[in-house]
């Protein structure tokens, strides 16, 4: 059952509360200070629009992780390992969001496609982290050998 409450202000009415039982994708909107409308949330019912919106949001987050991966492609910096680990954590977080939150809105094929992209990126990040650890270990062994030879 739907219900709403109007509040009379002078000659205008203001919507005070609105209860709804609409099943759909709840999408929060960032507030715009210039706008005269104060919209906090939109409920999207069309499955095609929901899928496109989820894919758009996924691609933005995925692109940020890929940029982090390529920015840390040099294995010389000490912060590289921690940045790669943070990117790996972000991949895991994004995967759980897709599985838990978006599963009911996405078709099986689209869900598998997004999870496959994340799995490939996760494997690349793991390989990069292992390479970084091996490189650091080799540097440490080389330093120890130089110190022993002196």
- The predicted-structure confidence for 18-56, as pLDDT tens digits, reads as follows 666 778 888 888 777 776 667 777 888 889 999 999 999
Q: Helices marked H in the chain — which ranges? A: 47-71, 79-100, 108-149
How far, rounded to the nearest angstrom, does the alpha carbon of residue 38 sit from its chain's CA centroid?
Answer: 26
59 vs 74: CA distance, rounded Å: 24
State both tokens at 36: 């005269």
**Nearest-5° angle of CA 100, CA 110, CA 124?**
80
Q: What percent of the chain has pLDDT over 90?
A: 37
Assess whether pLDDT exceeds 80 at residue 2.
no
Q: Pick the residue with more confidence: 9 or 140?
A: 140
Q: Which residue has the higher pLDDT, 33 or 119?
A: 119
pTM (two decimals) = 0.73
Cα distance between residue 119 and residue 17, in whole Å: 44
Running DSSP on this structure, what letter comes out for residue 106? S
CA 1 from centre of chain:
35
Angle between helices 108-149 and 79-100 (to 10 degrees): 160
Instruction: Please name which of 48, 52, 70, 50 lies closest in space to residue 60, comparing C-alpha atoms.
Output: 52
The per-residue pLDDT for 62 is 94
Type and span of the H or E element at 26: strand 25-28
Segment 142-146 shows an average pLDDT of: 80
Distance CA 143, CA 12 (A): 79
- Whether residue 1 is predicted with pLDDT greater than 50 in this model: the reply is no
Where are the domains positioned within the chain? 46-149
Predicted local confidence at residue 11, as pLDDT: 67
Tokens of 139: 């540097």
Specify the residue for token string 């009911």. Answer: 104
Average pLDDT, the chain: 82
């Amino acid at each position: 059952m739907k219900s709403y409450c109007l509040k009379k202000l002078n000659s205008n009415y203001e919507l005070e509360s609105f209860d709804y039982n609409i099943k759909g994708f709840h999408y929060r909107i960032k507030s715009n200070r210039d706008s005269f409308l104060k919209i906090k949330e939109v409920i999207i019912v069309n499955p095609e629009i929901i899928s496109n919106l989820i894919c758009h949001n996924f691609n933005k987050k995925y692109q940020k992780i890929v940029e982090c991966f390529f920015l840390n492609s040099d294995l010389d910096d000490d912060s590289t390992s921690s940045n790669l680990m943070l990117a790996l954590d972000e991949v895991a977080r994004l995967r759980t969001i897709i599985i838990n939150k978006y599963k009911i809105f996405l078709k099986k094929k689209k869900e598998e496609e997004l999870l496959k992209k994340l799995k490939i990126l996760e494997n690349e990040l793991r390989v990069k982290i292992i390479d970084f650890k091996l490189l650091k270990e080799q540097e440490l062994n080389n330093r120890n050998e130089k110190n022993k030879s002196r």
